[in-house]
Structure 1
Amino acid sequence: MTPNGNSPNAEQAVESPTYLADIRFYFRPQDIEHMAAKGIDLGTYDGVKDNAISIDAHTSPPDADMPPDEEARWSAARVQTFEKWIADGFPLGTAKPVEPPPPPQAPARLRKEVTTLSDAEFELLAKAFNALMARDPDDPNGYFVLAGHHWLPKRFCLHHEDRFNPWHRQYLLEFEDALRSVPGCEDVTIPYWDFSTPLPERLQHPPFDKYVLPADPGAAAVPPKTGFFPYTTQRYPVAEITQNMADSGVLADTATSLNQSLWGAYNKGGYQKFSIQAHDSGHLSIGPTMADQNVASYDPVFWFFHCNLDRLWLSWQTHVGATTLTTFLSTLAPTQNKKWLTQSPFNALKPFSVTADQTIESKVSYDRLEPVAPPEDVLENLFGSIAATSRFAFRSASPVSVRVKGIDRLNIPGSFVVSLLADGEPIAKRGFFQPDDPRLCATCVEHGIVNLDFRMTQDQLVDKTLSVRIDVPSHAEEIGTAFPLSQAGDPTVNARLLVEEA
């Protein structure tokens, strides 16, 4: 199946059509744009559902007048499929992986896995990094200023909200442009570290092993922040990073994110929820600098880690058929707010001039996209609850969702770890990445109550005594690592067997 109305299913009636697998591909970008000018939304589930009867009237032969170009008129089989979808109650369904397009012949920016760079390519990358690090601390294209966009001193970053992935995609491009401004490095691209593998040897040596801050990043912050000058970035030993990645669910959440049908939202579900959880736990796994939002982006590994996250996002976009703004909108959950993507000023990505919608079509390609489900399978769209008007099913292999719900992050001084314990022993944990002064962060305040999700098998939970613990590793000396749950908003625990639309 391919997007934008070219589905083979379009020419044969589908017995049990769904929006995500079939219907969304019936509307071409020009159809959506044409009708949007008339106030009719054909680009989202809600829009198609709300206008379904009118759509059917205008597309059904023999009196069809839409689409306006006659060669694009719907076949009888397509009309039959659409009417079956209406009769079945507009099922959302699950996406089927689409056939990825062929890679571009000569991509303007091809990012590669760092271990596959030739010696000459790697030397140019090191040259570019060294040059940026040597630039004056006030140089807008210098390492110190660029890294300072993420938190200290600028405090610009957008975490745990819809613009998270778009913001970081543009941030990588801005940093890559700075690398390319170094004479002789005009074709350099940021490689990615596939963090399902140990931290590569190449990233354990200068200039990629550490960065010595040339000035106080907190001096220009509003309000000022002390304690980070002099400062040299630090990481855990490689073996510890690898173990942390596995223990904190980075790889598990990455795999879950790639198999989602919907884009989703943080605190709720879909690709975005599990992608951001993997990001947070990854930061804490690499620490201690990467675990501290004040200075995380000064560690050179930040760029290779985030480049891989962007590759994973593009992998999901490609396989779910969401690489353009039009097709991406079709993966938004029903009733999901679209202002963050389509309406100014809600789609702003400060300090960049680019807006969120302009990041959906990636300006880079990667030497390898991460595979998801095989083409004959479908992606996941599991729910904790579902409308009673829907047909639904519980599967024997369906996971249990354990949600630690209602954590008041604003009371917690820095990044923290939430652990799920069975009979007193940790069986799963997830990290949460945030500054140590979250009340000074407008985004943190706006999204101050958060949830963390664990996907568990039933045998991990049944007949065991379960409990939850929150730890703040950076404050072990002052308060001990354990943080009182009563001071974290008295979060609750919800455990549900996930259900799917049948």
Structure 2
Amino acid sequence: MVNKKYGFYIVINKFKPTKELYAFKTPFIMLTPSQIAQAPTWHGEVKNYFTAFDIAQMRSIRGFDLSSYSFVVSHAPDIYQRVSLPPDAQGRMPMDPGTPWSKEMISSFLAWMVAGYPEGEPEHQNKAFLKMSATPVTGRVRKSLTSLTAEELEKLKTAFIGIMNLGTDDLNGYFQNAAIHGLPLAFCQHHDPGFQPWHRVQMWAFENCLRSIEGCEEVTLPYWDFNELLPDWMYAAPFGSYTLPIDIGTASGSTNPNYKAGYQTNRYDARTIMNNFNADVMKYYANAQTEVWWDNFNGLLDGTPSLDFISGHDSGHDATGDTMSKQNVSAFDPIFWFYHCNLDRMWWIWQANNDAQTVDGFMKTIKNKTSSSYLVFTNAALGKMNPWAQTLKRDDLTAEFTIDLATNFDVSYESMTLDLPQAQANKHLFLGMARTFTADDQEVNVRVTDLDRTKIPGTFKVYLLRNEEVLDKSVFFQPDEVEKCSNCMKIPKVHFDFRLPLAAVTGGLLSIRVEPNNKEMYGDTVPLKVLGNPTISVSLLMDAI
């Protein structure tokens, strides 16, 4: 089928049916703009035409996924012909013993095709981020830092002090747990499809270590709600800082003068952190919660806009303080654990709002079935959550296993409510040719592409400039020696997106400035020759109809 756009009209050409089908031609239909706007949508009506039996039958027999929007769009002409056949015809859908579609359903499906396959939004998408209707009941209920009782806080202190006093070789000890994320063990997955699952297992494993201390068997890891000012006790022992007991070296094995025994973690004061989050971080988490596709919820991966969760994660690390901005040692700051516990809560809330707390439900949220984001959940080897799968001899600890937090980890959160700023309008930078859309002439997406990050020592900021004046900035969180990080080298070149009013970028010279947090090598600005050959593009945004 070929779609041709003539002004506001869409014409669907006739196509030649396959040999096994009866000769049946798609009618020649034209729709006005108002008719297009009133057409059925995938989430509103069309996906409900396929029953659970239909989906399971076609998946097992032919490997077809009738629960997938992208699959149904690409096979819509064939599906339309098959559901239109007489009940006893060869090749009819639904297959026996399924119930044939009514004339109204067939007409509705055709109207959906003609309108350009409007996707719509899931009914369960909760724009207000209200508390989910039924929170799973679990044994481990994680609470906010500010809602701990005096007794709970004392036990948490006891647990932290207990694991901090364990030796540097003890797998239950604080040092070993922090070393997994950065130096010296460096297992962590950042800017990678396994990013969320890996950190979910990390929080669970750390919580287990806290529970290994006598008298702390019921301790749960609290989360840091970013809307709440950090309590004073977060700046007192044992939560205020951690001192390295030994040198931790570098990824290449040499001595690192910055991370020797005696290095003490540090962070900004509570008010500065809250101001930083409000200014530079929360907008990304707000964007992420409006996404209905997992691919876009994360952002950055597989070419998706870098305006969502991963950008929030990177900016949040930088906004918290010097130690947290350094991937090599960020996990040694005790606040790291409460920070990532809240990120896990935010992922769980997104799952709840998108019917994605089970494997079947979650897999339906992955739009691109050939992407790395899909493969990590379907290939056990790629999705292995090491080092825990190795040390615990748990082959089941895979990305897929992490999806169901309540069943597989016995974890839930006290609050499933988020207080986030207004998200940017959910507009599209890319749409399939089969989609109909309107172009926004007031807002644009500025993308910096192919920026080589491999020679930048540690976390850095990209500033978008117009006539040398800053329009916006984005943070990228990474280790000191990128070329020694095998996970980093999967994506040595990265892109950055900035959503701005058209008027802000017109009539001037656009450029970028890259500022490293570590200024020992380049000073305040990384030379452009170090960055490869990055490009800047400005694109209009689209509203899908």
Question: TM-score under structure 1 normalisation?
Answer: 0.85
1:339 correspondence with 2:371: no
| SS of residue matched to 1:421 | strand
Provide Cα deviations, 1:45-68, integer angstroms capped at 9, x if missing partner: 333334546656469896687587
The offset of 1:158, in angstroms, is 0.9
User: Which residue of structure 2 lines up, in the alignment, with residue 90 of structure 1?
Assistant: 117
Q: 1:42 to 1:373 in 2, by over 3 A?
A: farther
8 Å CA contact 2:87, 2:100 repeated in 1: no
1:501 correspondence with 2:544: yes
Q: 1:286 to 1:372 in 2, by over 3 A?
A: closer
User: Which residue of structure 1 lines up, in the alignment, with residue 220 of structure 2?
Assistant: 189
Q: 1:232 to 1:339 in 2, by over 3 A?
A: same
1:488 correspondence with 2:531: yes
8 Å CA contact 1:96, 1:378 repeated in 2: no
| SS of residue matched to 1:442 | coil
What letter matches 1:226 in structure 2? N
1:16 correspondence with 2:16: no
1:145 correspondence with 2:181: no
Return 459-468 or 333-342, whichever deviates more: 459-468
8 Å CA contact 1:267, 1:452 repeated in 2: no
Percent pairwise identity:
35
**Partners in 2 of 1:45 and 1:110 — Cα distance?**
35
**Partners in 2 of 1:342 and 1:488 — Cα distance?**
34
**Partners in 2 of 1:314 and 1:196 — Cα distance?**
18
The offset of 1:94, in angstroms, is 3.8
Provide Cα deviations, 1:66-90, integer angstroms capped at 9, x if missing partner: 58777x8877655554443344343
The offset of 1:280, in angstroms, is 0.6
1:122 correspondence with 2:153: yes
User: Which residue of structure 1 lines up, in the alignment, with residue 18 of structure 2?
Assistant: none
The offset of 1:447, in angstroms, is 0.5
User: Which residue of structure 1 lines up, in the alignment, with residue 335 of structure 2?
Assistant: 301
| SS of residue matched to 1:37 | helix
User: Which residue of structure 2 lines up, in the alignment, with residue 360 of structure 1?
Assistant: 403
| SS of residue matched to 1:405 | strand
The offset of 1:460, in angstroms, is 3.5
User: Which residue of structure 1 lines up, in the alignment, with residue 480 of structure 2?
Assistant: 436
Provide Cα deviations, 1:74-124, integer angstroms capped at 9, x if missing partner: 776555544433443433444444477533463222222211111112222
The offset of 1:37, in angstroms, is 2.6
8 Å CA contact 2:283, 2:423 repeated in 1: no
What letter matches 2:64 in structure 1? I
User: Which residue of structure 2 lines up, in the alignment, with residue 472 of structure 1?
Assistant: 516
**Partners in 2 of 1:340 and 1:258 — Cα distance?**
22
**Partners in 2 of 1:101 and 1:467 — Cα distance?**
44
8 Å CA contact 1:416, 1:473 repeated in 2: yes
2:438 maps to which of 368, 382, 393:
393
Q: 1:21 to 1:418 in 2, by over 3 A?
A: farther
8 Å CA contact 1:60, 1:76 repeated in 2: no
List alignment gaps of at least 5 residues for structure 2: 1-36, 390-396
The offset of 1:395, in angstroms, is 4.2
Return 421-430 or 158-167, whichever deviates more: 421-430
User: Which residue of structure 2 lines up, in the alignment, with residue 5 of structure 1?
Assistant: none
1:260 maps to which of 267, 284, 291:
291
User: Which residue of structure 2 lines up, in the alignment, with residue 9 of structure 1?
Assistant: none
1:234 maps to which of 266, 271, 275:
266
| SS of residue matched to 1:383 | coil
User: Which residue of structure 2 lines up, in the alignment, with residue 47 of structure 1?
Assistant: 71
**Partners in 1 of 2:124 and 2:501 — Cα distance?**
25
1:36 correspondence with 2:78: no
| SS of residue matched to 1:492 | strand
Q: 1:307 to 1:48 in 2, by over 3 A?
A: same
Q: 1:65 to 1:478 in 2, by over 3 A?
A: closer
| SS of residue matched to 2:405 | coil
| SS of residue matched to 2:157 | helix
After superposition, residues 166-177 of structure 1 pair within 5 angstroms as: 166-177=197-208
Q: 1:478 to 1:439 in 2, by over 3 A?
A: closer
Return 303-312 or 53-62, whichever deviates more: 53-62
The offset of 1:347, in angstroms, is 1.9
Q: How many residues align?
A: 482
Q: 1:101 to 1:254 in 2, by over 3 A?
A: closer
User: Which residue of structure 2 lines up, in the alignment, with residue 131 of structure 1?
Assistant: 162
Return 270-279 or 53-62, whichever deviates more: 53-62
The offset of 1:352, in angstroms, is 3.0
**Partners in 1 of 2:318 and 2:537 — Cα distance?**
25
Question: TM-score under structure 2 normalisation?
Answer: 0.79
8 Å CA contact 1:266, 1:272 repeated in 2: yes
**Partners in 1 of 2:464 and 2:206 — Cα distance?**
38
2:384 maps to which of 348, 358, 362:
348
The offset of 1:425, in angstroms, is 3.2
Return 89-98 or 61-70, whichever deviates more: 61-70
Provide Cα deviations, 1:400-435, integer angstroms capped at 9, x if missing partner: 212221110112111101112344332321110001
1:312 correspondence with 2:346: yes
Cα RMSD, aligned residues only: 3.2
**Partners in 2 of 1:386 and 1:105 — Cα distance?**
36
**Partners in 1 of 2:272 and 2:291 — Cα distance?**
30
What letter matches 2:313 in structure 1? H
**Partners in 1 of 2:159 and 2:49 — Cα distance?**
46
Q: 1:487 to 1:190 in 2, by over 3 A?
A: same
User: Which residue of structure 1 lines up, in the alignment, with residue 326 of structure 2?
Assistant: 292
8 Å CA contact 2:79, 2:93 repeated in 1: no
What letter matches 1:85 in structure 2? W
Q: 1:55 to 1:187 in 2, by over 3 A?
A: farther
1:282 correspondence with 2:316: yes
**Partners in 2 of 1:16 and 1:317 — Cα distance?**
28
| SS of residue matched to 1:348 | coil
8 Å CA contact 2:191, 2:310 repeated in 1: yes
